[in-house]
A and B are shown apart, each in its own frame.
Chain A
């Protein structure tokens, strides 16, 4: 199993550009999450999804969009990138049941200049 895979690992954007961060998991997990982590800070929840076709806002959703067309994929879209979106982005997933422990991807480091 690959687990949770995020691409790209690094990206530099210019202000106003847009991009999509990819996240895919091969564990058949229903629940998927996007977090951002600013330097020296904790993780902030951006969006989450409880299944294909169902998404909801987290703590810091402004400036982002998500979609969930399949169980495996949960892309995060940045429109009109701003310097405040410079951060490390983590995708995570879990399945409901005994432990509901989150599995994380290795992250995408994004710089907006």
Chain B
């Protein structure tokens, strides 16, 4: 699976959009970009995933560049409850059994 690079930490003002970047320059054509978040000491929670098209769900939007070498997770109106560690993972479906997490980005939403 391709390696990902994320900033160690970020701050965001409450009510503003939080844009979390992820670099994955060695991504293969069949690999998806996944995002999870971990609030305090809970188990990580799935947010969104995508292959090459931008994706949106009730939690967030995922923007993947045309060359697929980087992506951005967007939380459109961050709240204090979005303070968490956000993990970007790149993996292929069906056949890639290892599910490897990196160190993630610690997002702090400020009041």
Contact = CB atoms under 8 A, between A and B. Distances in A.
Nearest to B104: A42
Mostly, the B contact residues are: loop
A90 B43 contact: yes
Nearest to B34: A101
A25 to B, nearest CB: 12
A92 B101 CA distance: 13
B95 to A, nearest CB: 9
Interface string A41-55: 111110010100000
Interface in A62-113: 88, 90, 92, 94, 96, 99-107, 109
A35 B100 CA distance: 9
A107 B100 contact: no
B40 to A, nearest CB: 11
Question: Which of B41, B85, B97 is most buried by chain A, counting CB atoms within 10 A of its CB?
Answer: B97
B30 interface: no
Given A99-B49, A101-B34, A42 B101 contact: yes
B99 A106 contact: no
Interface string B52-88: 0000000000000000000000000000000001010
Interface of A: 4, 31, 33, 35, 41-45, 48, 50, 56, 58-59, 88, 90, 92, 94, 96, 99-107, 109
Interface of B: 34, 36, 41-46, 49, 85, 87, 93-94, 97-104
